[in-house]
Amino acid sequence: MILILIFAAGFVYGWVKAKRAGGRAVDRLRYGIIHGLAPTLAVYAIASLGDWQGFF
């Protein structure tokens, strides 16, 4: 559940960032996906390591 929230927050951040830069719909989607996946994968990787597993 936390990963979905992190992805959603990152997606919105990327969407707004692209919108302010004057990007079109495709740019907004691309920025949203990239800014959503990067922190989600980072948290997933940290949560999957040794002692951190099960923390999230």
Q: Residue 34 has what pLDDT?
A: 97
Look at residue 1 in the predicted model and tell me its pLDDT: 83
Given a contact cutoff of 8 angstroms between Cβ atoms, the answer to whether 17 and 31 are in contact is yes
How far, in Å, CA of 16 to CA of 43, rounded?
A: 22
Q: What is the number of domains present in the chain?
A: 1
pLDDT at 40: 96
Give per-residue pLDDT as tens, 11-55: 999 999 999 999 999 999 999 999 999 999 999 888 888 666 665
CA gap 43, 46 in Å, rounded: 5
Residues spanned by the domain of 26: 2-52
pLDDT (0 to 100) of residue 6: 96
